[in-house]
Structure 1
Amino acid sequence: MIVSSLIEEFIFHCKFERNLTAKTIKAYENDFKQFKEFKDISSLNVIEVDKVLLKEYIRHLYTLGLKPKSIKRKVVVLKGLFNYLEFEEIIEINPFRKMRISIKQEKTLPKTIEMKNIRKLLKYVYEIKHNIKDKNSFKYKSVVRDIAVLELLFSTGLRVSEVSNLKSSSINIVSGYIKVMGKGNKERTIHVCEQESKNILKEYFSLFKEDIQNKEYFFINRLKKRFSEQSISLMIKKYQNKAKIEQHLTPHMFRHSFATMLLEEGVDIRYIQGMLGHSSISTTQIYTHIDNKKQKKILATKHPRRNLIFSS
């Protein structure tokens, strides 16, 4: 069978049988497009794609100057394809079974937001809200919505996609109970416990109630559509600039800050894993590296041994 048709079959499997997100499917399609164009693999019979050709393709990816993380992702996508073909008995042996691939990638620590900048950002937006006289204006409503999004990102550690796609039926603004559909359609629950965060969510809901009830999404934009991930990113950048915060802020940094601060407060990493929706504890453990960095700083500056001086 021809490679291009088998890739289409695999994409169908990912979309309708594995229920992967549209964003993931798009990434898969882009990776496969690059694979098919290499030496016209697209028109080959799948049995012609052996480990020699696959190794050649991986070497080619390195020549493009791609980061190890990107190369690793592309290889994982290909492995997924050939695992599927083997499982469906379209091929007898997955060529990756005979390959030893080790793609080393540098460990990059998640970037967090300094607490002083979180404080500065929230103080700034609350002041804007307080200074708007016309409580019926869209300007006031939009600021309330923006604060609600910021509070939710910081207090729950949700992914920006999870906030943007939050359904109105999945949040109880009275109790602060939120049902989240995460990666791989895995459902988890998380609570908003801070009263001020709950209050702003309640106020947002009261202002946008009619629009929310007419749509399935909780956060609504000026056009009465879903408040998109890109819009959330631009909103954060806007307030960062206006509040004169020098640190570059992104929505995902709120998630990293949420996890890191809980870890610093002594919360068990497995609880943090559940709140973040990580399927593997190893994904969550990257935050322990940040904690260790802080631990070193604490021991170097706060340990009482610093005050014990002995003269000879």
Structure 2
Amino acid sequence: MKDLPILNQLTSEQYLVQLRNNLEHRQLLDENRNLSLSDSSEQDFLEMFFLEKIFIPDKQRSPHTIKAYRSDAKTLLIFLTEYSLSFRDIGFPEVKAYNKYIKEKYAPKSAIRKLEFFRRLLDFGYETQFYQAHLSTWITKPSSKKGHYIIEETQPEMQTRVQVRELNQKDAEYLLSFFPRIVKTNQNREQLEKRNLLIGYLLYTTGLRAGELLSLNWGSFRYNRQGYLYADVIGKGNKPRTIPIKEESEKLLFEYRKSLGESVEINPEDTSPLFFALYNKKEPCEHKKRLTYPSLYKIVKEAVHLAGKHQKVSPHWFRHTFVTMLLENDVPLAVVKDWAGHSDISTTNIYLERVNQDNAHVHMQKVNLFR
């Protein structure tokens, strides 16, 4: 799985010809010129699975998604290795054993994702005759609470406790104040402090996913006809969307640019990264290496640690907080869906259901149950 040669051909102009010749040479086409892996090696099976079902041409995958797929594949390989099994050995008993293994070892949401990866692999194997039986039918996924929750267990009773992965307004604002305070170096201190604070504000006031935030360029920003600042974002599934920028974040954006000695004139042609590593040099903007997710994660976790509470907070918590706060302030569901970049309004509705539950006492107070 470390080396998938066929993936290197995806950008070639002669992709179709090369793919056809490759398949014919490796005898992976049946008499009807359909993909058949009945007699293929396990290496061929894995290569074709990743090519056709995971790393699909022209379909953008976020670093998180790629990392999750690699983790799921590694989990399956570890299981097979522990029991001295090959992919060809997988049958009904092995499916049930792996199902049990995943349910016992992982929390519901992680288990569901890993079993979904396993299901897709088994289905691909059945579709290509690598497996002669429809083995995925025997997979049973655990139930999971809808929405953005962390499931914990209390001691010693081991009762399930549900923690929502979001912040209230007071805690969010408190945490943001620590983003600039984590800077320890004196070199580029002002730039780093302004950069970190802007990162926190954009996470909190836009609901951007981490990858979307890190992909922002200076040219991502523009003014509309009314003179309000917006950010054009390429989101999950390569889908574009536009998000309004709050005045507080706009002010920090220009302060950050000025501290770098960069132009504050909006330029849609500027593809330089908004956030980049600031080296300990006199001219920090000389080499712009886009900020990575580990760096962003470290900034958030250090701010969280310094703040002294909500230790589980990650960049994604701000996204959940943003969506919930929009709904609490009566922003229409369809508008929230568009700003958040949800592919389906049912995802946004999960947030609304919980907001309505939290506001149940407001409705109850309006009801006169006694004469």
Give the shorter-chain TM-score range. 0.7 to 0.9
Partner of 1:8: 47
CA contact (8 A) 1:28 1:77 kept: yes
Partner of 2:340: 276
Partner of 1:207: 259
Partner of 2:349: 285
In 1, distance between residues paired with 2:49 and 2:305?
44
The alignment's C-alpha RMSD in Å is 3.5
- Is structure 2 residue 203 aligned with structure 1 residue 153? yes
TM-score (normalised: structure 1): 0.77
In 1, distance between residues paired with 2:134 and 2:261?
53
Q: 1:122 to 1:36 in 2, by over 3 A?
A: closer
Q: 1:73 to 1:211 in 2, by over 3 A?
A: farther
Identity of aligned residues (%): 27
Partner of 2:95: 54
Q: CA deviation at 1:104?
A: 1.3
In 2, distance between residues paired with 1:218 and 1:229?
14
Q: 1:75 to 1:102 in 2, by over 3 A?
A: closer
CA contact (8 A) 2:115 2:139 kept: no
Partner of 1:78: 118
CA contact (8 A) 1:166 1:180 kept: yes
Q: Residue 80 of structure 1 aligns to a residue in which SS?
A: helix
CA contact (8 A) 2:221 2:231 kept: yes
Q: Residue 285 of structure 1 aligns to a residue in which SS?
A: helix
Q: Residue 323 of structure 2 aligns to a residue in which SS?
A: helix
CA contact (8 A) 2:210 2:316 kept: yes
TM-score (normalised: structure 2): 0.66
The one-letter amino acid of 1:147's match is: L
Partner of 1:24: 65
Q: Residue 142 of structure 1 aligns to a residue in which SS?
A: helix
- Is structure 2 residue 107 aligned with structure 1 residue 67? yes
Q: Which runs of 5+ in 1 are unaligned?
A: 129-135
Q: Residue 232 of structure 2 aligns to a residue in which SS?
A: strand
Q: Residue 243 of structure 2 aligns to a residue in which SS?
A: strand
Correspondence list, 1:1-312, <5 A: 1-13=40-52, 14-17=54-57, 18-37=59-78, 38=80, 39-42=83-86, 44-45=87-88, 48-63=89-104, 65-87=105-127, 94-96=134-136, 98-99=137-138, 101-107=140-146, 108=149, 110-122=164-176, 138-172=188-222, 175-192=228-245, 194-208=246-260, 216-223=272-279, 224-240=288-304, 242=306, 244=307, 246-248=309-311, 249-299=313-363, 303=365
In 2, distance between residues paired with 1:87 and 1:217?
43
Q: Which runs of 5+ in 2 are unaligned?
A: 1-39, 150-162, 280-287
Q: 1:276 to 1:5 in 2, by over 3 A?
A: same
